[in-house]
Amino acid sequence: MQAATTLQDGQKCVVLLPDSIRNYMTKFLDDQWMIDRGFKEEEGRLQHWWWNYKVSFLNLQTPVTVLPDISCEDAIDLMRREGFDQLPVVNENGKIFGVVTLGSLMSRLLSKKLQPTSPIQKGLYSQFRKISLDDTLGKLSRILERDHFSLVVHSQKLYVSQSEVQEREVIIGIVTQIDLLNLIAKVENPDESDLKSFISDQQSSSMSGRDTPTTEADE
Protein backbone atom coordinates (compact mmCIF):
# COMPACT_ATOMS: atom_id res chain seq x y z
CA MET A 1 0.00 0.00 0.00
CA GLN A 2 2.91 2.31 0.71
CA ALA A 3 4.42 1.71 -2.73
CA ALA A 4 1.08 2.30 -4.44
CA THR A 5 0.96 5.88 -3.13
CA THR A 6 4.01 6.76 -5.28
CA LEU A 7 2.58 5.45 -8.56
CA GLN A 8 1.84 7.81 -11.43
CA ASP A 9 -1.31 7.77 -13.56
CA GLY A 10 -1.43 4.65 -15.76
CA GLN A 11 1.12 2.69 -13.70
CA LYS A 12 0.26 -0.68 -12.21
CA CYS A 13 1.30 -2.23 -8.94
CA VAL A 14 1.88 -5.99 -8.83
CA VAL A 15 1.59 -7.63 -5.41
CA LEU A 16 3.17 -11.07 -4.85
CA LEU A 17 1.65 -13.10 -2.05
CA PRO A 18 4.00 -15.94 -1.07
CA ASP A 19 2.54 -19.39 -0.62
CA SER A 20 3.47 -21.58 2.32
CA ILE A 21 5.88 -24.48 1.82
CA ARG A 22 3.28 -27.00 2.98
CA ASN A 23 2.32 -28.08 -0.56
CA TYR A 24 5.94 -28.76 -1.49
CA MET A 25 7.04 -30.94 1.41
CA THR A 26 7.55 -33.96 -0.87
CA LYS A 27 9.32 -31.95 -3.59
CA PHE A 28 11.57 -28.97 -2.97
CA LEU A 29 12.17 -29.91 0.67
CA ASP A 30 13.04 -33.48 -0.32
CA ASP A 31 16.75 -33.73 -1.11
CA GLN A 32 16.25 -36.95 -3.08
CA TRP A 33 13.57 -35.32 -5.27
CA MET A 34 15.99 -32.46 -6.02
CA ILE A 35 18.90 -34.84 -6.74
CA ASP A 36 16.84 -37.07 -9.05
CA ARG A 37 15.93 -34.05 -11.19
CA GLY A 38 19.40 -32.56 -11.34
CA PHE A 39 18.71 -29.55 -9.11
CA LYS A 40 21.10 -30.62 -6.39
CA GLU A 41 24.38 -32.49 -6.23
CA GLU A 42 24.49 -35.46 -3.91
CA GLU A 43 26.88 -34.93 -1.04
CA GLY A 44 28.07 -36.94 1.90
CA ARG A 45 27.20 -40.32 0.36
CA LEU A 46 29.57 -43.25 0.18
CA GLN A 47 30.52 -43.43 -3.48
CA HIS A 48 31.61 -46.65 -5.13
CA TRP A 49 34.31 -47.07 -7.76
CA TRP A 50 31.72 -47.05 -10.55
CA TRP A 51 29.75 -44.05 -9.22
CA ASN A 52 31.18 -41.34 -11.48
CA TYR A 53 31.47 -43.45 -14.64
CA LYS A 54 28.98 -42.58 -17.37
CA VAL A 55 26.06 -44.67 -18.58
CA SER A 56 27.97 -45.18 -21.84
CA PHE A 57 30.29 -47.40 -19.78
CA LEU A 58 27.57 -50.07 -19.70
CA ASN A 59 27.41 -52.66 -22.45
CA LEU A 60 23.78 -52.10 -23.42
CA GLN A 61 21.91 -54.15 -26.00
CA THR A 62 20.36 -52.53 -29.03
CA PRO A 63 16.69 -51.92 -28.17
CA VAL A 64 13.78 -53.34 -30.11
CA THR A 65 10.98 -50.81 -30.47
CA VAL A 66 7.40 -51.41 -31.56
CA LEU A 67 4.67 -49.35 -33.19
CA PRO A 68 1.62 -48.37 -31.11
CA ASP A 69 -0.86 -50.26 -33.27
CA ILE A 70 0.56 -53.77 -32.93
CA SER A 71 -1.55 -56.14 -30.86
CA CYS A 72 -0.92 -57.16 -27.27
CA GLU A 73 -0.46 -60.79 -28.26
CA ASP A 74 2.18 -59.84 -30.84
CA ALA A 75 4.01 -57.72 -28.28
CA ILE A 76 3.98 -60.57 -25.74
CA ASP A 77 5.25 -63.01 -28.36
CA LEU A 78 8.05 -60.60 -29.28
CA MET A 79 9.10 -60.16 -25.64
CA ARG A 80 9.09 -63.93 -25.19
CA ARG A 81 11.26 -64.51 -28.26
CA GLU A 82 13.71 -61.70 -27.51
CA GLY A 83 13.84 -62.19 -23.75
CA PHE A 84 12.66 -58.66 -22.90
CA ASP A 85 10.34 -57.53 -20.10
CA GLN A 86 9.56 -54.16 -21.68
CA LEU A 87 9.40 -52.58 -25.13
CA PRO A 88 9.59 -48.89 -26.06
CA VAL A 89 6.66 -47.76 -28.20
CA VAL A 90 7.41 -45.26 -30.98
CA ASN A 91 5.73 -44.02 -34.14
CA GLU A 92 7.11 -44.27 -37.68
CA ASN A 93 9.23 -41.15 -37.11
CA GLY A 94 10.78 -42.49 -33.92
CA LYS A 95 8.79 -40.28 -31.53
CA ILE A 96 8.57 -41.93 -28.12
CA PHE A 97 5.00 -42.70 -27.05
CA GLY A 98 5.77 -44.72 -23.95
CA VAL A 99 6.77 -48.16 -22.74
CA VAL A 100 4.80 -51.39 -22.58
CA THR A 101 5.81 -54.00 -20.02
CA LEU A 102 5.09 -57.69 -19.73
CA GLY A 103 3.70 -57.26 -16.23
CA SER A 104 1.26 -54.50 -17.21
CA LEU A 105 0.00 -56.45 -20.22
CA MET A 106 -0.59 -59.58 -18.13
CA SER A 107 -2.45 -57.59 -15.47
CA ARG A 108 -4.69 -55.83 -17.97
CA LEU A 109 -5.39 -59.00 -19.94
CA LEU A 110 -6.27 -60.99 -16.82
CA SER A 111 -8.59 -58.22 -15.63
CA LYS A 112 -10.10 -58.06 -19.15
CA LYS A 113 -9.27 -54.37 -19.48
CA LEU A 114 -7.51 -55.37 -22.70
CA GLN A 115 -8.04 -58.11 -25.24
CA PRO A 116 -5.22 -60.06 -26.95
CA THR A 117 -6.04 -58.22 -30.17
CA SER A 118 -6.10 -54.77 -28.54
CA PRO A 119 -3.39 -52.34 -29.72
CA ILE A 120 -0.64 -51.86 -27.16
CA GLN A 121 -1.13 -48.10 -27.17
CA LYS A 122 -4.08 -48.75 -24.84
CA GLY A 123 -1.82 -50.39 -22.26
CA LEU A 124 1.44 -48.46 -22.31
CA TYR A 125 3.11 -46.35 -19.66
CA SER A 126 3.40 -42.75 -20.78
CA GLN A 127 5.43 -41.72 -17.72
CA PHE A 128 8.92 -43.13 -17.40
CA ARG A 129 12.42 -42.02 -16.50
CA LYS A 130 14.96 -41.10 -19.16
CA ILE A 131 18.72 -40.85 -18.94
CA SER A 132 21.51 -39.96 -21.37
CA LEU A 133 24.83 -41.64 -22.09
CA ASP A 134 26.60 -38.72 -20.40
CA ASP A 135 24.78 -39.15 -17.08
CA THR A 136 26.65 -40.95 -14.32
CA LEU A 137 26.02 -44.46 -13.08
CA GLY A 138 25.51 -42.90 -9.66
CA LYS A 139 22.53 -40.97 -10.98
CA LEU A 140 21.28 -44.10 -12.71
CA SER A 141 21.50 -46.12 -9.50
CA ARG A 142 19.32 -43.58 -7.73
CA ILE A 143 16.71 -43.83 -10.50
CA LEU A 144 16.74 -47.63 -10.35
CA GLU A 145 16.11 -47.56 -6.61
CA ARG A 146 12.55 -46.47 -7.43
CA ASP A 147 12.03 -47.56 -11.05
CA HIS A 148 12.61 -50.95 -12.66
CA PHE A 149 14.12 -49.47 -15.82
CA SER A 150 15.13 -46.27 -17.56
CA LEU A 151 15.25 -45.38 -21.24
CA VAL A 152 18.63 -44.26 -22.54
CA VAL A 153 17.97 -41.49 -25.03
CA HIS A 154 20.01 -39.27 -27.32
CA SER A 155 19.01 -35.93 -28.82
CA GLN A 156 19.10 -35.83 -32.61
CA LYS A 157 18.72 -32.81 -34.88
CA LEU A 158 16.70 -33.19 -38.07
CA TYR A 159 17.20 -30.52 -40.73
CA VAL A 160 13.81 -30.20 -42.45
CA SER A 161 14.88 -27.15 -44.44
CA GLN A 162 17.42 -24.36 -44.27
CA SER A 163 15.18 -22.43 -41.91
CA GLU A 164 13.69 -25.30 -39.90
CA VAL A 165 15.57 -27.63 -37.59
CA GLN A 166 13.71 -30.15 -35.46
CA GLU A 167 15.16 -31.85 -32.40
CA ARG A 168 13.93 -35.23 -31.28
CA GLU A 169 14.91 -37.93 -28.83
CA VAL A 170 16.05 -41.31 -30.10
CA ILE A 171 16.04 -44.41 -27.90
CA ILE A 172 19.45 -46.08 -27.90
CA GLY A 173 18.98 -48.48 -25.02
CA ILE A 174 17.01 -49.69 -22.03
CA VAL A 175 18.89 -50.03 -18.77
CA THR A 176 17.55 -52.13 -15.90
CA GLN A 177 18.63 -52.98 -12.39
CA ILE A 178 20.32 -56.18 -13.59
CA ASP A 179 22.51 -54.23 -16.03
CA LEU A 180 24.01 -52.21 -13.21
CA LEU A 181 24.26 -55.20 -10.89
CA ASN A 182 26.13 -57.20 -13.54
CA LEU A 183 28.69 -54.43 -13.78
CA ILE A 184 29.14 -54.21 -10.02
CA ALA A 185 29.39 -57.98 -9.61
CA LYS A 186 32.09 -58.35 -12.29
CA VAL A 187 34.57 -56.10 -10.54
CA GLU A 188 34.50 -55.90 -6.75
CA ASN A 189 37.02 -53.61 -5.02
CA PRO A 190 39.26 -53.47 -8.13
CA ASP A 191 42.83 -52.30 -8.07
CA GLU A 192 44.10 -49.93 -10.76
CA SER A 193 45.33 -52.63 -13.17
CA ASP A 194 42.13 -54.68 -12.89
CA LEU A 195 40.02 -51.59 -13.49
CA LYS A 196 41.98 -50.50 -16.55
CA SER A 197 41.64 -53.97 -18.08
CA PHE A 198 37.93 -54.11 -17.33
CA ILE A 199 37.33 -50.63 -18.75
CA SER A 200 39.18 -51.56 -21.95
CA ASP A 201 37.06 -54.70 -22.36
CA GLN A 202 33.84 -52.76 -21.74
CA GLN A 203 34.70 -50.08 -24.28
CA SER A 204 35.66 -52.63 -26.95
CA SER A 205 32.45 -54.60 -26.37
CA SER A 206 30.34 -51.44 -26.41
CA MET A 207 31.82 -50.19 -29.68
CA SER A 208 31.40 -53.53 -31.45
CA GLY A 209 27.83 -54.11 -30.24
CA ARG A 210 26.28 -50.73 -30.89
CA ASP A 211 23.88 -50.95 -33.81
CA THR A 212 20.94 -48.99 -35.10
CA PRO A 213 17.74 -49.52 -33.08
CA THR A 214 15.19 -51.69 -34.87
CA THR A 215 11.43 -51.74 -34.83
CA GLU A 216 8.98 -54.58 -35.08
CA ALA A 217 7.98 -53.19 -38.46
CA ASP A 218 11.53 -53.75 -39.71
CA GLU A 219 11.43 -57.49 -39.00
pTM as predicted: 0.65
Q: How far apart are CA 210 and CA 193, in angstroms?
A: 26
- The dihedral through the CA atoms of 73, 109, 125, 210 has a sign that is negative
* pLDDT at 152 (0 to 100): 93
Contact 205, 172 (CB under 8 A): no
Stronger pLDDT, 202 or 111, i.e. the higher one? 111
Beta strands in the chain (DSSP E): 64-65, 86-90, 96-101, 130-131, 149-159, 165-176, 214-215
Beta bridge partners of 152: 131, 173
Classified as helix, coil or strand, 46 is coil
Stronger pLDDT, 195 or 122, i.e. the higher one? 122
pLDDT digits (tens, 9 = 90+) for 19-40: 777 777 666 677 777 776 777 7
Work out the pLDDT band at 209, boundaries 50, 70, 90. Answer: very low
Q: Domain residues of the chain, as ranges?
A: 59-218
- The closest of 212, 208, 214 to 59, measured between CA atoms, is 208
Instruction: Taking residues 115-126, report their average pLDDT.
Output: 91
Fold of 59-218: CBS-domain (3.10.580)
